[in-house]
Amino acid sequence: MRHGLFVTSALAAVAAVTFGSLVSCGGPPASSTPPVPTREQGLAAWGTINTVLQHPRCRNCHPSGDAPLQGDDSRPHVMNVQRGPEGEGRIGEQCTACHGPANPPASYGEHTPPGEAKPWHMPPPDMKMVIVGMAPGPLCEQVKDPSRNGHKDMKALREHWDDPLVTWGWNPGLGRAPVPIPHDQLVAAFETWSAAGAPCPQ
């Protein structure tokens, strides 16, 4: 072990020397851990997250009123569907009565109710998690506030990007535009934003 350590630090010394010469001609910073992103980089990353959140595939389940929205123009949901006491629809008119565990096959045509592995629902009335009509600053403050985001810390928020109701946005079924920003870019933007201390625009 001792010997191994010696070799490692000898290598590190060589690396430091090499790095020194790289830095002197404008090379990368002499550190193996990624540099902490600046506030500007964090704000730019929030811009990417904000763009995804405001996409119709996301905002349609996050309205300020009590009806979910549909389509790229975010019009009120057909048949006067309502949030209901838990976000799962009114009693006897639950979202899952129409929205199944997967998108119906493309052969069924357009305008079928989409579905996902997790029971289809929207946020509950006592924590609406509104996205529609929110400016980037206030939306950013809401997303990182556990008392308004469904009690999520940064780790839970990171995991939320892999929630089936979110990933559905990249596989929304026939006739619906998917979120155009790739999912891995959203995750990378979240990691930058988070590492920068989750700054929010004023």
Residues that bind ligand HEC (CB under 6 A): 52-53, 56-58, 60-62, 68, 70-71, 77-79, 81, 83-84, 87, 89, 93, 95, 97-99, 111, 113-114, 120-123, 129, 142-143, 149-150, 160, 165-166, 168-169, 176, 179
Comparing CB distances to ligand HEC, the nearer of 40 and 153 is 153
Question: Minimum CB separation from ligand HEC for residue 178, in Å?
Answer: 9
| Distance, CA of 117 to CA of 27 (rounded, Å) | 47
Question: Minimum CB separation from ligand HEC for residue 191, in Å?
Answer: 15
Angle at 50 between CA 44 and CA 52, to 5 degrees: 115
Angle at 72 between CA 100 and CA 49, to 5 degrees: 90
Comparing CB distances to ligand HEC, the nearer of 41 and 48 is 48
Q: How many CB atoms lie within 10 A of CB 18?
A: 12
| Distance, CA of 45 to CA of 166 (rounded, Å) | 18
Comparing CB distances to ligand HEC, the nearer of 19 and 170 is 170
Q: Which residue is nearest to ligand HEC (CB)?
A: 150
Question: Minimum CB separation from ligand HEC for residue 164, in Å?
Answer: 9
Comparing CB distances to ligand HEC, the nearer of 39 and 151 is 151
User: Can you tell me which residue has the tokens 């009693």?
Assistant: 91
Angle at 115 between CA 78 and CA 45, to 5 degrees: 95
Comparing CB distances to ligand HEC, the nearer of 19 and 148 is 148
Question: Minimum CB separation from ligand HEC for residue 101, in Å?
Answer: 13
Question: Minimum CB separation from ligand HEC for residue 36, in Å?
Answer: 23
Distances (CA, A) of 151 to 56, 144, 155: 24, 9, 11
> Cβ-count burial of 148 within 10 angstroms (0-12 exposed, 13-18 middle, 19+ buried)?
middle
